[in-house]
Amino acid sequence: MGIFSKRREMQLKDLGFTAEDLASRTLYQDAWRRLKKNKLAMVCLFVIIVIAIVAIFAPLVAPYDPFETDPFNRLQKPSAEHWCGTDDLGRDIFSRIIYGARVSLLVGVVTEGIAVPIGIVLGCIAGYYGGWADMIISRIIEVLGSFPFIIFALCVMFIIGPGILNIFIALGCIGWLGHARQIRAAVIQLKNSEFVEAAKASGASDFDIIFKHLVPNCLATVIVVATIDIPSDIMFEATLSFMGLGIQPPNPSWGSMISEAQDYLRQVPSYSIFPGIAIMLLVLAFNNFGDGLRDALDPKLKNL
Amino acid sequence: MAKYIAKRIGQALIVMFLVSLLTFIMINVAPGDPVAVMLEKQADPETIQRVREQLGLDRPYHEQFISFIKGAVTGDLGNSYFQKEPVTAIVGRGFVITVQLGLLALALSVCIGLVVGTLAALFRGTWIDHSLMFVAMLGISAPAFWIAVLMQLYFGLKLGWFPISGSEQAGWLVMPVICLGISYGASSARLVRTNMIEVLSQDYVRTARSKGLNEFVVVGKHVLKNAGISIITLTGMQLRSLISGAMVIETVFSLRGLGSVSYAAIMSRDIPLVQGCVLYVAIVYVLVNLVVDLMYGVLDPRIRLS
């Protein structure tokens, strides 16, 4: 069903618009059409999907067992057998990079999975109710935000110890701050609009107004902010693992591999180069895809 | 203006107090008795009890917290458990290294950002713009600690130009500053470009150009001045994350800055030292926020009034 009258449609068709241009579309269909036109973003989406598939099917893809040590093949340079060489215990670096992708992707997804719901709930409460609730939540955001992240992460690791689960907790604890701030601003802007007034007048409860009217209207913002935050989550995990606070050995993570490689810089420089390239590739793909998604979904957020 | 400054300073003080309270709570809920770690396994329960009393750890929590706050205000944070030295001395030494590193890196990053961002904006859409932005995106996507390792590999080991660790040899600051500067400069370049493009499309720029002013005057006097606020915003934002960034880079180059000191303190459960580090970093952080906010107030009257 088109959105124009038959006559107008004919006119527009004469002007060179196709039937697809004239069909009614939802916001998300519209965004997808815009995104598809952005070649760089689509290439990056493809890269992310490939890395995700490789990570999921790591046992099938990896040429070697990432934990299998081989004392006779320690610190090998890249060769036909070992594409990226071997580490100090003779483990295949390429296979460990493939398994390391699991950690990086998981960190991105799980952290946002924790941060987004907390950010939505607290951001909505602060924005919708204002007053004391807003005051308290805004101060919490300010105080947590005035902790340098690395000190906060160190403190969290100090209390609950290093490990991947604890990285999720540390990142999730900080990650919601940005979401809450964005959603609070969006809700404040939306709460006086007519559709909210209409809902109020028809007797909708606060809960319904927030979750049926306000949240769906901020969803585009949430998706954009979450996608843009994923690369920084991946980077934080790599940094924490590099400092020895993240993934514990023998589990492979790109950050901890670079830190292990630091001891063998002289013998095998390639050891430290490949995991870094992996981080750069994934973060690059997410950054460009996030930018594309932002432009497609919400052009207002251009400066984010 | 005086009212605005007073309000911001008041807020900063509240945040400082809450940060110290939060640190105190976090340290006290953490498992593991620092005294037991300190004396290792040889100590009998009585000795442990005696040391606890000496350190004041047997007193109720609120008393401990009050004496910590009193100490913080008078500049006495007690002695480190393991290094028999006042906390202020240890943290102070680290502070000097981190601040040097951070400020130099910030200066470098602002220079890189301004030059690269301005060039890209002026040559918008050409190959110059595309290649500069591609390099900037690479710089943003590569972890700073990895750039540091690569620099150690090439300039330290292969060419032997700069020392790869410690702060004793000449030139020790060069590589840490460059890799942090590149990392942050890349993201400022993108933001400067966006802002410059916005300003370049304003009417007054067209007027300036049509008056026949040369391009240097147009960019220097009209465009950069108006892009100033967003560049200061950016510098403030960067300074905040630079503190964390510098702390990570220190560990790569084995510098004894705040990052390495607090990492070691947390790992050894040296409570006074941990508190001291967090307090110092938080003070710097809050001061940076305060200065940046006040500068907006000076530059942009709209913020002061709202």
Q: Is the pLDDT of residue A118 over 90?
A: yes
Q: What is the pLDDT of residue B289?
A: 76
What would the pLDDT profile of A153-164 be if each residue is shown by its tens digit? Answer: 777 777 777 778
Q: Which residues of chain A make contact with B243, given a CB cutoff of 8 A?
A: 148
Where is pLDDT greater, at A80 or A32? A32
* Contact call for residues B282 and A146 (beta carbons, < 8 A): yes
Q: Which listed CATH number (1.10.10.10, 1.10.3720.10, 3.40.50.150, 3.40.50.300) goes with B88-268?
A: 1.10.3720.10
B141–A283 CB contact, under 8 Å:
yes
CB atoms within 10 A of CB A96: 27
Q: Are B230 and B195 in contact (CB under 8 A)?
A: yes
B252 and A262 in contact by Cβ < 8 A? Answer: yes
pLDDT of residue B181: 92
Q: State how far the Cα of A262 lies from the Cα of A271, in Å rounded to an integer.
A: 9
Interface check B263 vs A, CB under 8 A:
yes
Domain limits of chain A?
A: 1-37, 102-296
C-alpha distances (whole Å) from A289 to each of A237, A273, A286 are 20, 24, 5
Q: Hey, what are B96's tokens?
A: 């000097």
CB A144 within 8 A of CB A151: no
- Is residue A187 within 8 Å of residue A214, measured between CB atoms? yes
**Residue in A143, A239, A303 nearest the CB of B145:** A239
Least confident of A200-204, A227-231, A248-252, B59-63: B59-63
* Residue of A146, A258, A283 lying closest to B145 (CB–CB): A258
Q: Within 13 Å and on the Cβ side, how many CA atoms surround B279?
A: 23
pLDDT grade for A122, boundaries at 50, 70 and 90 = very high
| A138 Cβ under 8 Å from any chain B Cβ | no
What's the average pLDDT block by block, 10 residues per block, for chain B (306 residues)? 79 78 75 66 71 73 79 76 81 86 90 90 90 91 91 83 76 87 90 84 85 83 76 75 84 85 80 81 78 72 58
Q: Please list, in sequence order, all residues whose beta carbon lies within 8 angstroms of the beta carbon of residue B149, skipping any fewer than 6 positions away.
A: A258, A261, A262, A265, A272, A276, B252
Q: How confident is the model at residue A277 (pLDDT cuts 50, 70, 90)?
A: very high
Higher pLDDT, B1 or A200: A200
Residues 224-253 of A with CB under 8 A from B: 231, 235, 238-239, 242-243
Residue of chain B whose alpha carbon sits nearest to that of A237 = B143
pLDDT at A92: 84
Q: Enumerate residues 6+ apart whose C-beta is below 8 A from B130.
A: none
| Cβ within 8 Å, pair A243-B248 | yes
Residue-level pLDDT at A304: 43
A300 vs B84: CA distance, rounded Å: 56
| Comparison of pLDDT for A76 and A184, the residue scoring more | A184
Q: What is the pLDDT of residue B257?
A: 85
**What is the per-residue pLDDT for A1?**
47
Identity at B240, one-letter amino acid code? R
User: Which of B28, B260, B127 is CA-nearest to residue A154?
Assistant: B260
What is the tens place of the pLDDT at every residue in A10-30? 787 787 777 777 677 777 888
The confidence score (pLDDT) of residue B135 equals 92
Confidence of residue A303 (pLDDT cuts 50, 70, 90): very low
Mutation for testing the B interface, residue in A137, A140, A144, A150 having most B CBs under 10 Å: A150
What's the rounded mean pLDDT across residues A292-301? 75
Report pLDDT for A300: 61
Coil, strand or helix: which one is B304?
Answer: helix
CB within 8 Å: B143 and A239:
yes
Residue-level pLDDT at B303: 58
- DSSP letters, B233-289, are HHHHHHHHHHHHHHHHHHHHTT--SHHHHHHHHHHHT-HHHHHHHHHHHHHHHHHHH
Residue A3 pLDDT: 65
CB contact, 8 Å: A270 with chain B?
no
Residue B225 is encoded by which pair of tokens?
A: 């001045």
CB contact under 8 A, A151 and B244: yes
A256 touches chain B (CB under 8 A): no
Count CB neighbours of B200 within 10 A.
20
Question: Domain A102-296 adopts which CATH fold?
Answer: MetI-like fold (1.10.3720)
Chain B contact set for A284 (CB, 8 A): 137-138, 141
Tell me the backbone φ, ψ of residue A2, rounded to 5 degrees. -80, 170
Query: pLDDT band for position A276 (50/70/90)?
Result: very high
Could you report the predicted ipTM of this complex, rounded to two decimals?
A: 0.82
> What is the value of pTM for the model shown?
0.83
Write down the pLDDT at residue A301.
54
Q: Do B14 and A139 touch (CB under 8 A)?
A: yes
